[in-house]
Amino acid sequence: MSDVEELAHQAIQCGLAIHRDLGPGLLESCYEVLLAAMLARAGLAVERQKVVDIDYKGISVREAFRADLIVERRLVIEVKAVDRLAAIHSRQVLTYPKLLDLPLGLIMNFGGGTFREGLKRVANTYRH
């Protein structure tokens, strides 16, 4: 699947179904496993806890961070299970797509009362 918007739509539908059926209260790792499995069931390639190295001005940082989910090598998803998203969560999803050179990132917070309040979409406007 090449259209990143369709990927995002599918990911959001999977996340919404999980939140609707199970609600908040589980560990972040549980939601991550479930979301990855649901996306894989939908026929999408999903990488979990992908270790990412970065290079900055000739300085290499091995294992700089782990991306929760990368879908079809086009969409990065940061999974949370907190009462409220903090500013740092948005900054992560601003930075991850840029470092990974991906067009889109999503935060999916399963800890809130509604899935919609914990969903953030960030387009990567910085392309190499």
Tens digit of pLDDT for each residue in 38-74? 999 999 999 999 999 999 999 999 999 999 999 999 9
70-96 confidence digits (pLDDT tens): 999 999 999 999 998 888 888 888 888
Predicted confidence band at 2 (pLDDT cuts at 50, 70, 90)? low
% pLDDT > 70, the chain: 95
Note whether 122 and 106 are within 8 A (CB).
yes
Say if 56 falls within a structural domain: yes
Instruction: Give the pTM.
Output: 0.91
Cβ partners under 8 Å of residue 116, min gap 6: none
**What 3-state class would DSSP assign to 18?**
helix
Classify residue 128: in a domain, yes or no: no
Q: Which residues lie below 8 Å from residue 87, measured CB to CB, with a gap of 6+? A: none
Q: Write the burial class of residue 8 (CB in 10 Å: 0-12 exposed, 13-18 middle, 19+ buried).
A: buried
Residues 6+ apart with CB under 8 A from 25: 111
Q: What is the DSSP letter of 81?
A: -
Which residue has 């369709």 as its token pair?
6
Q: Confirm whether 48 is domain-assigned.
A: yes
Q: Tell me how many domains the chain contains.
A: 1
Can you give the residue range of the structural domain that contains 70?
4-123
